[in-house]
Amino acid sequence: MKPIAAALGCGMLLAAASASAEIAVMESGKILYVDKFERVDREVTLYLTGGGVVTVPSEIVLNVVPNEIVEEKGEEPERAPLFPQLDEVIAPAAEKYGIEPALVAAVIWAESSGDPNARSSRGARGLMQLMPETAKELGVTRILDPRENVDGGTKYLRRMLDAHAGDVRVALAAYNAGPEAVRRYRGIPPYKETEEYVSRVMRVYDRARGAAE
């Protein structure tokens, strides 16, 4: 059995996880109880409740939900809203800039998997992976503060939407590859990373909207 598969299988046995644990919902439909997780670039490291650590591609971690939220509401983890623990951070920014909370949550999922301390090798930081210079221009003084980071990232996403007539896909491409690349190609740049990014965010956005409804 491959290391990732073995770790995922072990995670399914942790049924007696503590109420404070988080639930990581995997693309396969399996769930893992984790004490914490960390996102670096496009990999997520999961620290399993009961012992064990596994690092997986970020794309296969579909949601991270506090166990107590699932227990209190009686929800199936895979059907729970995307990052309900971030509602108090996402909702004000989404309302302030007139963007659906589900879209903000989907961008957070793609950028950081919901890890407020996420970092990239390029220097991006926080839930919405702001570059220091961009954060400064957006008025974000504490880049790792979830509220400031999400406010700044949502503000920037609003700019991208306004600059591209509300076209969500093109705005997402600009968020990922930069507005100059979108201007140069007059649409989504033919970069594999950007094309995959837009597809991933849109897929999760649709799912997040369904869960919210």
Angstrom distances, CA of residue 6 to CA of 13, 53, 55, 128: 11, 11, 12, 31
Per annotation, catalytic residue among 22, 71, 75, 111? 111
C-alpha–C-alpha distance, residues 61 and 50, integer Å: 19
C-alpha–C-alpha distance, residues 147 and 195, integer Å: 28
For residue 111, indicate whether it is catalytic.
yes
Q: Answer yes or no: are the C-beta atoms of 54 and 3 closer than 8 Å.
A: yes
- DSSP conformational letter for 29: S
- DSSP conformational letter for 130: B
CA dihedral (178, 182, 185, 187) positive or negative: positive
Angstrom distances, CA of residue 51 to CA of 13, 28, 33, 113, 211: 12, 21, 10, 21, 31
Q: Which two tokens stand for residue 30?
A: 């399996």
Catalytic residue ranges = 111
